[in-house]
Amino acid sequence: MTVARQENSARHENEAMHGSSIVDATGAAPRMPMRGRFRTRLSNLAIDGLLAIFSLAMIMPLVLLVANALKTPAEMLAWPPTVVPDAPTLANFCAVLGDTPLLRWIANSLLFAVLSTIAIVATSSIAGYILGKFRYRTLSVVFVIILATAIVPFEVYMIPLYFQVQKLGLLNSTAGLLVGYLVMSFGIFLIRQNVIHSIPDELLEAARIDGAGELWIFFRIVLPLLRGALGALAVLAFFQAWTAFAWPLIVATSKDAYTIEVGLALFQTGYTVDLGRLSAASALVLIPSVALFVVLRKNFVEGIAATGLKE
């Protein structure tokens, strides 16, 4: 099922919801005694309370981590842990920025994630469009191969891929990191589904009759119509590369080439470091990615939801 279709069903649901509220107002709905209505409201309140507590518990570890980053060593040991530090200090941030090339690692990760996003969006949109709209028997064979290799987890084939990168002399470089994240099978499926469901053949035919070239059609008609899906895919691809761990760990082994994930993981095992600095380093990575997520939440949720609905 496609994102477009989901939006559709969401709209239907909205209509249905409005419909039912009208029914309620006219009194055609089963009449509820006052006590029943009171009990419904009470149970709704209880559910809201439960969800609030649960949501709070879910983000608590991250909140406390950020709080720890702003605390003095003494306050960090206080029980119960304070959510808002009494005497907030930036000392931990300064210390960790002086100790480690943290900014360099963040820059490495950013570059890697941006390039990977561009590569994945480009390869997925081309392959998705061609596989969705050009029906030749040879192409369906290609599609089956992509489908079959899509279920193989990255961890399974990363060792041979490492040797391929090594042969090219690309270890410890962004290019080497990128080799593992140039394509995304799910991206190809996502774009293909969207092409099939939201780009009518007639539109393309009409453009062809008017004398439009294939490239013009792709850039001027297809890509603009795929904006929503491409946005969702871009967000997924970016976060996938930004949070990658095992691959950067084996490919980037010199301190200057680390991504932020690898740098942080090794920083905390390498030598004894105090909690404040660790928390500060972690917070420095967490805050922008949570902020980015909150901004791009809609795209993200669309993309993730689509992963669950492969038919």
Partner 1 sequence: MIKRRRFLFAIAALLPVLAIYAWVRVMPIAEILRLSLHRWDIISKNKPFIGLDNFRELLGDDLFLTALTNTAIIAFGVLAITIPLSLAIAGLIHHRTRSRFAGVWETAIFIPHVVSLVPAAMAWKWIFDAKLGPLNALLANVGIAPRAWLFDPVWSIVCIIVLCSWQALGYAVLIYLVGFKNLPKSLYEAAELDGASGLQRFRFLSVPMLKPITLYVSVVTLVSGFNVYAQAFVLASDSQGAPGRQVRVLVLDMLENAFRNYRVGYAASEAVVLLCIVLILTLIQFSLLRERRRS
Site for partner 1 in 122-151 (CB under 8 A): 123, 126-127, 130-131, 134, 136, 139, 142, 145-146, 149, 151
- Asked if 286 and 216 touch (Cβ cutoff 8 Å), the reply is no
Q: How far apart are CA 164 and CA 309, in angstroms?
A: 34
97 versus 179: smaller Cβ distance to partner 1: 179
Calculate the CA dihedral of residues 151, 155, 156, 159 and round it to 10 degrees. Answer: 140
Q: Which residues ranging from 163 to 192 are in contact with partner 1 (CB under 8 A)?
A: 163-164, 179-180, 182-183, 185
Stretch of 8-16, 91-99, 189-197, 226-234 lying at the interface with partner 1 (CB under 8 A):
8-16
20 versus 200: smaller Cβ distance to partner 1: 20
Q: How far apart are CA 129 and CA 219, in angstroms?
A: 11
Q: In the chain, how long is the greatest CA-to-CA distance?
A: 77
Least separation in angstroms between CB 248 and partner 1:
10
Helices (H), the chain: 3-26, 34-69, 73-76, 91-99, 102-133, 137-150, 154-167, 174-179, 185-198, 201-209, 214-217, 223-225, 227-242, 246-251, 260-270, 275-295, 297-307
Q: Which residues ranging from 221 to 260 are in contact with partner 1 (CB under 8 A)?
A: 239, 242-243, 245-246, 249-250, 260
Among 28, 58, 74, 84, contact with partner 1 (rule: CB under 8 A)? 58
Among 22, 56, 144, 147, contact with partner 1 (rule: CB under 8 A)? 56
Phi and psi at 57, nearest 5°, equal: -65, -35
User: Interface with partner 1 includes 33 (CB under 8 A)?
Assistant: no
Window 275-304: contact mask with partner 1 (x via CB under 8 A): x--xx-xxx-xx--xx--xx--x--xx--x
Closest CA to 241 of 56, 113, 85, 98: 113
Question: How many residues belong to the site for partner 1 (CB under 8 A)?
Answer: 100
206 versus 305: smaller Cβ distance to partner 1: 305
Among 4, 64, 199, 223, contact with partner 1 (rule: CB under 8 A)? 64
Least separation in angstroms between CB 146 and partner 1:
7
Q: How far apart are CA 127 and CA 143, in angstroms?
A: 9
Give the type of residue at 176.
G
Q: Which residues ranging from 70 to 109 are in contact with partner 1 (CB under 8 A)?
A: 76-77, 79-81
Q: Is the dihedral of CA 18, 51, 286, 237 positive or negative?
A: negative
34 versus 156: smaller Cβ distance to partner 1: 156
Least separation in angstroms between CB 257 and partner 1:
16
Stretch of 61-69, 92-100, 190-198, 221-229 lying at the interface with partner 1 (CB under 8 A):
61-69
Least separation in angstroms between CB 175 and partner 1:
12
What's the chain's length in residues?
A: 311
Q: Is the bond leading into 248 cis (omega within 30 degrees of zero)? A: no
152 versus 206: smaller Cβ distance to partner 1: 152
